[in-house]
Structure 1
């Protein structure tokens, strides 16, 4: 199941020489570590790398985050990252898409949001929209956060603007909060998450033309079908390391992907109006 939430970040072409993040930035956890994702030094329930059972099944690593509920350290479901790979100038790097694969490993519904800290005074903000991950969602699902304006971010504290935060991010968070916030809600929850991705997807001035773009099946073994109400002219396929593995003109409404190795890929489709990226799994 694919769920798409149109969110908000700021459109800006400013470039910063201090930008640290680059796209695509992916945490896939295949190295057996948590890749910089923590939930604060005081928490007794630090995220854990689970070596099997991810979206690709056996031997696919993923991250498990457990929160205890109640009060005190470890009560809230939050993971955060302030490593250089995930901080810096999001606007200069062209970040336009945030995505992840998730499932609920507990008994409580989760309400996932992205929060950022940045700017000269460490202003904190979170996305107004949330992605509901019910307790019944015990299989992997994915969501995309397409960022194209500043209307849906709420600033919690600090004097920096949304644009200033995005130009100088010092921490990114993924958290569960039903009403919104930077610290998340106290909940006895379990989040399974994988392939956390920030990518440089800007989908053009008329986003509506891409609303009916669909690819299937997913996972795919040979033929990836592409359905769209508008013609897509070109394609690029990237692996999880951000390497371009295939590129060309889209002459038919399908792509032959049987030559790809098994794994997660990003298909970028484009025309004169803009571009759109869709994740797919090759099996």
Structure 2
């Protein structure tokens, strides 16, 4: 806005020079908002905290940090790529999403409970054989998205609604977890 012998925010400003005048133009930086979305992980931003307001033109470095058991996949929205660290130039309001997926290490110590799945490949019903009581069953696709979840101690699961492809089944028992892969045909 204007101060001194002028007021308001009209631009351009017309002044009648009928005497000596002092006019000051007051500028404030344009503010841009950064919104970051992340499930199963978090994102750090430098400078300022995530979802902060930045002066126009500020270059912000974003770093994806996956939760335990997850891995970083990619950025979407106003940023793209699959490296854990990117920069965003705040030349407008920006929304960025960090995508994470489940890390399934077949030989991972966390997944030590043995069990069998049959038939494999499966068409409709897959059977679970374990020496322990199964408390939870979860099935993930190859992208790490959970597609089936059951808290019943089933010995078989109907997978007829799943698309053809590779899947991972994780079972939970009182002593831990086990993981096996299977093919839906």
Give TM-score scaled by structure 2 length: 0.45
Which structure shows the bigger proportion of residues in strand conformation?
Answer: 2
Give TM-score scaled by structure 1 length: 0.31
Structure ID, larger Rg: 2
